[in-house]
Amino acid sequence: MSVDFSENQWRTIEALSDAYIPAIELLQVDSLLQDVTPELRSVVAQKTTRDNRGFRQNVSTALSQASESNTRLFKLVIAILSRRTLAVPITHSFKLLSEMSIDERTHFIMSLRDAKIAPLRSLYRALLDLSMIAFFYSDEKLLEGLGYKFDRANAARFAEQPFWEVPIEAAPKDQSTWRIETDVVVIGSGSTGGVIANRLAKEGFRVLILEKGDQIRPSDLGKSDLVTDSRIYELSNKMMSTDKSINIVAGSTVGGGAAINWSCSLRLPFAVRRQWAADGVPWATSTLFDDAQDYVWKKMGTTYDYGEHSFTNQLILDGSKKLGYPAAPTGQNTGAHIPNTVFQGYGYRYGEKGGVVNWLYEAVQNGAKVIDRCQVVRIRHNRGKASGVEAVVNDGTKLVVNAKRVVSCCGSLQTPILLKRSGFKNKKIGDGLKLHPVTCVYGDFDEVVNKESDTIMTSVCVEDDNLDGEFHGPRIEAIHHLLPLTLKFLPWYNGESYRKICARYKHLSALLILTRDKGAGKVIYNKNDPMTPTIEYTPSKFDLDALRKGALTGANLLYIQGARRIYMPHYSIPMFESDKPASERRLADADYQAWYANAETVDFEIFKVGTGSAHQMASCRMSNKGPQFAPVDERGRLYECPNVHVVDTSVFPSASGVNPMISCMSVAQVLGGFLVEELRKEENRARL
């Protein structure tokens, strides 16, 4: 969709962004950035959108990557705000935003932020996110001043290492329709697609893997993360729920989630396994699943022997030990290698991360074929039996695949709409979506805490993970310190304070608060946009309260470990500041207790607190209780069409409560075993 703006509209956008992130006096950052050159300090403090050529380009790029409906809505809002007569009911001023003083624009932004009407708060959040991304990425000097070095991180480390690629099948040039015969067609090459394709290929079956994303190559790594986002994430990493209350990150590349995850490896808690068994998956508590988890763990080289923790990961462990909170290191699927590069989240393909190499690449070595940039249009089926799929390859070639079995490994967002556009009718398809909502709490430390060589997520605190007796509640982990992730959940008190906080990027320890959601949403199929999932999800009050509880516990960890300043993700909770040495701190300290007591009284509400999701589950649940309860049986077969199998996180009966990589791969290993059994039985019957 075109994102052209008139000059007047550009001035409106720039006026808003300059109020969100205004220039501040150089003296205000001198003490904050003592290790930065005077030239860079000046850029960090005083650069504005109006003297920044890259800002407009970044805005255009971001909007072109967003969904058409969101871009259209944004353009409409800017058009209204750029017309004096139309803007008055919103701004309550006869001045255009571009004519207002910085104080007047700040007052307008605060009116959006504090509005009782959710859509206005949504507008506040959208403008803040766009301003942050477009502004900070618009100038190399600005990024350098903040200490952000994505482009240069680890370049020397990997210069001599071999880079593996999955061989991709090329469409025949002389055919308008490409026809392929295979035993099993696997739709999706991610965590589960790789596992089941590997298992089937090892058993000697013909396997074809179709992936709608493309493959990241060496030349794609080391570029700006904004550029890479557009290549490997759903909707260029601009996906969100229909009410805009939660941003959603999902992989869309060869390797899928296995290529972009942060290597954190955790087994499915047995309490959750018991719930799954009660919901109609009896093997969830069996040795069959134990063996699958053991196999996956070993296959990926998962280990606890990966060197030192980052500052934030060590803080979680040390702070938890002081306070008596249960915490532990997490496994990493990197073998003997250190999981410490920004490339982890961008198609990390050097053979050090087992999520892709040990499954997908090995499947290809065993005979599986892969076609990338291939969008499956529908599963062909008649009278309860599937015969294959129809797809379109990126160059426009129509692909027809005839297969004995169809396996959907598209993930919890794509599998439901694939089934719906293929004509399957079960009303439970798309229901029950779980997202593991997240937010962050921040500590500002005197020392530099964000280093490009850091491990990412190697520890977890579970002090609050069972708030209701049913194991719904938050965990505390470290977030990947990519700039947009680190700054995403910061509170916006006002523009001046926001810029000063952002200037401390290198010193911000960000604790990720991830909760096992009790609430649920839906994935909706939209006939007018059949290839894009419509996600109806709003974090429930219970889950928002859980995030608040987790953030407060995270604040305790930050305080006891000596953070000079603590920022909660809600702007109504003021910054806490103390220069007391960590060795002298106690949670009972009067100043901290007063701040904590006030923070406890502030409700977390959508848009007032930023929330996100990188885990999508349970939108096409499996159960042996029948099609009235779930669309898929306990062996992964679609009730409506038993030779269509669903093998991804969508079949989870509920949220895993932990980073789901080990869980979904183990589920795929079990369901893959069932599929092999059925194919062998078919072969035996054919011989009779």
Q: How far apart are CA 246 and CA 612, in angstroms?
A: 5
Query: Positive or negative CA dihedral for 86, 17, 76, 109?
Result: negative
Shared domain for 342 and 410, answered yes or no, is yes
pLDDT confidence of residue 483: 84
Mean pLDDT, residues 509-517 taken together: 97
Model confidence at 156: pLDDT above 60: no
461 in Cβ contact with 476 (< 8 Å): yes
Active-site amino acid positions = 615
Model confidence at 230: pLDDT above 90: no
Alpha helices (H) along 324-413: 354-356, 362-365
Shared domain for 289 and 410, answered yes or no, is yes
Mean pLDDT, residues 14-40 taken together: 85
69 — pLDDT class (breaks 50, 70, 90): confident
Residue 283: DSSP 8-state: G
Residue 493 lies in a domain: no
Mean pLDDT, residues 107-111 taken together: 97
b or e along 395-405 (b: 16 or more beta carbons within 10 Å of the residue's beta carbon)? eebebebebbb
pLDDT confidence of residue 358: 74
Residue 239: C-alpha distances to residues 62, 68, 284, 428, 569 (Å)? 12, 11, 32, 23, 21
Shared domain for 368 and 233, answered yes or no, is yes
pLDDT tens-digit map of 282-319:
999 999 999 999 999 999 888 888 778 999 999 999 99
Model confidence at 146: pLDDT above 60: yes
160 — pLDDT class (breaks 50, 70, 90): very low
Range among 176-185, 260-269, 445-454 rated most confident: 176-185
Average pLDDT, the chain: 90
Last residue of a domain, one of 104, 126, 147: 147
User: Burial level of 628, CB count in 10 A (0-12/13-18/19+)?
Assistant: exposed
Q: How far apart are CA 483 and CA 487, in angstroms?
A: 6
Residue 495 lies in a domain: no
Angle, helices 68-81/7-20, rounded to nearest 10 degrees: 90
Ramachandran sector of residue 399 (left: φ over 0; alpha: ψ -120 to 50; beta: rest): beta
Shared domain for 217 and 97, answered yes or no, is no
What is the CATH classification number for the domain harbouring 182?
Answer: 3.50.50.60
Model confidence at 411: pLDDT above 70: yes
Q: Which of 362, 359, 434, 419 is nearest to 389 (CA)?
A: 419
Shared domain for 120 and 193, answered yes or no, is no
Instruction: Look up the domain containing 397 and give its range.
Output: 177-300+337-432+619-687
Shared domain for 143 and 187, answered yes or no, is no
Tokens (6 digits) for 200: 């089937």
Last residue of a domain, one of 147, 164, 185: 147
Shared domain for 187 and 141, answered yes or no, is no
Shared domain for 132 and 219, answered yes or no, is no
496 — pLDDT class (breaks 50, 70, 90): very high
b or e along 139-164 (b: 16 or more beta carbons within 10 Å of the residue's beta carbon)? beebbbbbbbebeebbeeebeeeeee
Beta-ladder partners of 378: 390
Residue 519 lies in a domain: no
Q: How far apart are CA 369 and CA 168, in angstroms?
A: 7
Shared domain for 77 and 190, answered yes or no, is no
Residue 131 lies in a domain: yes
Q: How far apart are CA 44 and CA 31, in angstroms?
A: 13
Q: How far apart are CA 237 and CA 243, in angstroms?
A: 17
648 in Cβ contact with 664 (< 8 Å): yes
pLDDT confidence of residue 66: 81
**Number of structural domains found in the chain:** 2
Q: How far apart are CA 237 and CA 61, in angstroms?
A: 12
Secondary structure, 3-state, 91-121: HCCCCCHHHCCHHHHHHHHHHHHCCCCHHHH
pLDDT confidence of residue 232: 76
Residue 444 lies in a domain: no
pLDDT confidence of residue 257: 80
Mean pLDDT, residues 70-89 taken together: 94
Shared domain for 129 and 214, answered yes or no, is no
Q: 3-state DSSP helix/strand/coil percent for the chain, to nearest 5?
A: 40, 15, 40
Residue 309 lies in a domain: no
Residue 272 lies in a domain: yes
Shared domain for 59 and 107, answered yes or no, is yes
165 in Cβ contact with 215 (< 8 Å): yes
Beta-ladder partners of 328: 460
Taking CA 38 as the corner, what is the angle to CA 35 and CA 41, rounded to the nearest 5 degrees?
Answer: 75
Residue 192 lies in a domain: yes
Mean pLDDT, residues 385-400 taken together: 94
Q: Name which residue leads in pLDDT, 324 or 23.
A: 324
Shared domain for 143 and 216, answered yes or no, is no
Q: How far apart are CA 241 and CA 437, in angstroms?
A: 12
pLDDT confidence of residue 36: 79
